Amino acid sequence: MRRLRINESIRDMLRENTINGDRLVMPVFVDENIKSKKELSALPGIYTHSPESYMDYVMDLEKNRVRSILLFGVPETKDSKGTSSYDRNGVVQKAIDYAKSSTRMNIVADLCLCEYTDHGHCGLVEGGYVNNDRTLEIYQKIALSYAEAGVDIIAPSGMMDGQVRAIREALDGEGFENVIIMAYSSKYSSNLYGPFREAAQSTPGFGDRKSYQMDYSNSMEAMREIDLDIKEGADIVMVKPALFYLDIISKAKELYNMPLAAYNVSGEYTMIMSAIKNGYLGKDTINEAVTSIFRAGADIVISYFTEALLREKMS
Ligand code: PBG
Ligand code: ZN
């Protein structure tokens, strides 16, 4: 076996999996309430942007060879029904429009209510419970507003039953049959979303997300979720988080002949970056982590490491 590891160029020739920059997606936060970009304390090196600073930032990303971004917005006003989520002049809608008119990147937009509701849940709350089907009606309105802004891919992350079908029907009904749906199919109720919630200001005001996001102890259920999303019309399915869930990614790749995305979430970035910053781990840990997600079977990897990985490749 050691003949095939003899030197770097032999190892390069025989490498089975590499990080493919075309398949990386960079998450981007836009916050209507700030005047300039702000570094996130739990995500060193990652910024939340003002609508102004976002404009320069997307141009920089494209210069650094980032091919795709995933947009998240924080609106100026929140209410119990998250009405600012489907405002034609909302924070994400404007960000989509700007990125589409000034770059050639693939623009993916996260579709959820937790950034827009005053209670921070991903759907409409009635009697302390997140109502499924009434939430779907709002998701349809958001989807149409994104489509009108010119989005390429809609990524529903709220884990409501039937969300993919509802969004597909709404899009097709209004002539947006070419808008792609990347479904957060197997999204677990994970401890690893903490740093993201600081950026998106989407921490639930009461309770948790366990009545809609998946129990991290389950894997067969993840396959049922993927199965349903495919039947409902998803174009791309997703497993989230990624690093503690490589078994789920691998099983999904084996069982379904579908483009598969994996979300290398905020807490995974934080764990690795804090260890690197403290000198406990080397920088190549980033490559090892992201490569492992591709090796497990992901076709697309959404990661906060995207920008740094692609910038480094260039220099
Ligand atoms: C919103 C959403 C979350 C993430 C993506 N979309 C947070 C949550 O469900 O609480 C997490 C992303 C990350 O941690 O990087 N539904
Ligand atoms: Zn949500």
Which stretches of 70-219 are DSSP H helices? 91-102, 132-149, 163-173, 194-200
Give tens-digit pLDDT for 60-81: 999 999 999 999 999 999 999 9
Catalytic residue among 35, 38, 78, 187: 187
Is residue 37 annotated as part of the catalytic site, yes or no?
no
Contact assessment for residue 74 and residue 201, using Cβ atoms and an 8 Å cutoff: yes
Inter-residue contact 291 to 253 (CB < 8 Å): no
Atom 6, ligand 1: which residue's CA is nearest? 157
Instruction: Report how far residue 213's alpha carbon sits from residue 221's, in angstroms, rounded to the nearest whole number.
Output: 11
Query: Tokens in use for 315?
Result: 């220099």
- The number of the ligand 1 atom at minimal distance from the alpha carbon of 157 is 16
Measured distance CA(182)–CA(153) in Å, rounded: 7
pLDDT in tens, 179-209: 999 999 999 999 999 999 988 889 999 999 9
Residues with CB under 6 A from ligand 1: 110, 112, 114, 122, 157-158, 193, 196-197, 202, 265-266
User: Of 11, 15, 94, 83, which Cα lies nearest the Cα of 54?
Assistant: 94
Chain position carrying tokens 């419970």: 129
- The answer on pLDDT for 314 being more than 70 is no
Distances (CA, A) of 311 to 20, 277, 285: 13, 19, 17
Confidence of residue 222 (pLDDT cuts 50, 70, 90): very high
Q: Which ligand is nearest to the CA of 193?
A: 1
Is 187 one of the catalytic residues?
yes
| Whole-number pLDDT of residue 312 | 82
Q: Is the pLDDT of residue 296 over 90?
A: yes
Ligand 1 midpoint to CA 14 (Å): 37
- The CA 110 to ligand 1 mean position distance, Å, reads 9
